[in-house]
Amino acid sequence: MNYFKSYKVKNKVGNYISIFIAVICFMIMIFPLYWMFTSSLKDETTVFASPPELFPLNPSLSAYTTQLSMTTFDIPRALLNSFLISGSTMIISAILSIMAAYGLARFKIRGFKILIFLFLVSQMLPQIFTLIPNFIIFKKIGIYNTYWAPILSNCTLAIPFCVLMMRTYFLSIPKEIDEAARMDGCNSLQSFLRVMLPMCSGGVIVCFVFSFLFGYGDMVYSLTYVSDSTKWPVTTGIYNVVGRYGIEWSRSMAFGSMVVLPVVLIFIFMQKYIVAGLTNGSVKG
């Protein structure tokens, strides 16, 4: 009995320590977002006050009103451009990568190990390596300075990630389920749509979310392949807070808060599916 009591006490202490460490890690990771938001409510003189103000004593929304009333950069239009680019990236990447992952997981394809290796290599290469080749290709096929240029470029990042993740999902599902669906009269496409996709719904949601984030966080591709500023996404607007003689920090923090808000909302409302999708997809490689 004493052994079991001491074991329970040690287990509770271990749980409390784990929770304490998790809270500390959470506070460290969330502090930059908190500081960005609170700095956006300060004026330029108090952003770098010493000692620093952890809570704005005189909060003001002037930085937000200034950003939204700018004529040099239309934030609402830029947000629409971001949603157009990221939404298109999400749809194209999710559809292609899910079907490709199913094929690599279920069918015997000659050289599939080379394909998997190439997908891994594409995740390791920096974006700048593909800027010039893509620029030449987009010029040749006539999609330079259109939305299609950043959309297709973002797909080259999202598709390999989603293929590698979704393939583990399909590998974790027994092949006997496919065989049972075939015995019930389903062909390969029907088995994929009616059986596999519902069983991999968590991975499909993660695939859509991360494909969207790949497109939403893009700045390099849009600045390189789109010369028309009216087609730029909202991430390119950070240049407008860099003045001739320095950076207007309260405005830049306000701009960052508005840009990061959609991402924060996605993770708040989709965190259950994202965590479940990532953990379930790592069962089998």
Q: What is the C-alpha separation between 154 and 119, in angstroms, rounded?
A: 14
Are 170 and 235 in a shared domain? yes
Are 81 and 58 in a shared domain? no
Are 21 and 151 in a shared domain? no
Dihedrals phi, psi of 284, to nearest 5 degrees: -140, 135
Q: What is the C-alpha separation between 7 and 262, in angstroms, rounded?
A: 45
pLDDT score recorded for residue 284: 45
pLDDT score recorded for residue 1: 52
Residue range 128-176, pLDDT digits in tens: 888 888 999 999 999 999 999 999 999 998 999 888 888 888 888 888 8
What is the number of structural domains in the chain? Answer: 2
Model confidence at 63: pLDDT above 90 = no
Is 187 inside a domain boundary?
A: yes
Residue range 6-22, pLDDT digits in tens: 656 667 777 888 888 98
Give the pLDDT band (50/70/90) at residue 278: low
Is 143 inside a domain boundary?
A: yes
Type and span of the H or E element at 240: none
Are 229 and 267 in a shared domain? yes
Q: Does residue 190 or residue 82 have the better pLDDT? A: 82
Return the percentage of the chain with pLDDT > 70, whole number. Answer: 90
Picking from 46, 63, 80, the residue at the C-terminal end of a domain is: 63
pLDDT score recorded for residue 121: 83
Residue 117 belongs to what domain range? 70-280
Are 106 and 169 in a shared domain? yes
Name the residue with tokens 């490709």. Answer: 100
Are 104 and 164 in a shared domain? yes
Q: What is the C-alpha separation between 232 and 145, in angstroms, rounded?
A: 10
Are 26 and 120 in a shared domain? no
The domain that holds 149 is classified in CATH as 1.10.3720.10
Query: If we measure between CA atoms, which residue out of 161, 148, 160 comes closest to residue 85?
Result: 148
Are 106 and 209 in a shared domain? yes
Name the residue with tokens 């977002």. Answer: 33
Q: How many CB atoms lie within 10 A of CB 279?
A: 10
Are 130 and 75 in a shared domain? yes
Residue range 237-246, pLDDT digits in tens: 777 666 555 6
Model confidence at 285: pLDDT above 50 = no
Is 16 inside a domain boundary?
A: yes
Picking from 63, 84, 115, the residue at the C-terminal end of a domain is: 63
Is 36 inside a domain boundary?
A: yes
Are 117 and 195 in a shared domain? yes
Are 74 and 50 in a shared domain? no
Contacts of 46 (CB under 8 A, 6+ apart): 53, 56, 57, 58
Q: How many CB atoms lie within 10 A of CB 230?
A: 9
Picking from 15, 39, 63, the residue at the C-terminal end of a domain is: 63
Give me the mean pLDDT over the 92-105 stretch.
90
Are 183 and 275 in a shared domain? yes
Q: Rounded to the nearest 10 degrees, how much is the dihedral formed by the CA atoms of 243, 259, 83, 92?
A: 100
Is 250 inside a domain boundary?
A: yes
pLDDT score recorded for residue 283: 47
Query: If we measure between CA atoms, which residue out of 257, 152, 150, 270 comes closest to residue 208?
Result: 270
Is 285 inside a domain boundary?
A: no
